[in-house]
Amino acid sequence: MPNPIAEFQTTLGTFRAEIFLDKMPVTAKNFLDLARRGFYDGLHFHRVIRGFMVQFGCPYSRDPNSPRAGTGGPPHGTIPDEFRDDARFSNEPGTLSMANTGRPNSGGSQFFINTAHNAYLDWFTPGPSRHPVFGRVIEGLEVVSAIEATPTDAADRPRTPVQVRRVVVMDREGAG
């Protein structure tokens, strides 16, 4: 069965991502369950760093000016790290990667979309950062580029908020 597609309807346009449910079942299922429940609808990108990534998924970002934006997670708490030898996806441009606090098993609802090849974030490379990739933008990468180009403040928060109005999960044929 083909992997599901998540359609992100944002204030800057729409992009679609394949979610690697076949290779990253724990991380992908967590994302898909949250998306299907409407958890991500109405949240804002809370961290944007040009030449690096755009980050999303904090429930406190519903208010884009909240000082807590970037510190929250899902109601069910964290999920286990998913480091699978048969799923060594690098943090390449356009990939969706699980954000975490740097501690083991601290991922939850927040993730980022790489806008550069951030191989040093790969879980299978030496170093302290370990971020598993669980999806890839397959359509609308120009929208991600527009989000990345949004002017930010000193805390990397977009000056003009970028909202994800809705995330729709569909099968490969487009049915929701």
Annotated catalytic residues are: 47, 52, 55, 100, 112, 121, 131
Amino acid symbol at 36: R
Q: Is 42 in a helix, a strand, or coil?
A: coil
* Mode of pairing for the β-strands spanning 95-98 and 53-56: unpaired
Q: Token digits for 121?
A: 């974030």
Which ranges constitute the DSSP H helices of 61-175?
141-148
Are 34 and 159 in contact by the 8 Å Cβ rule? The answer is no
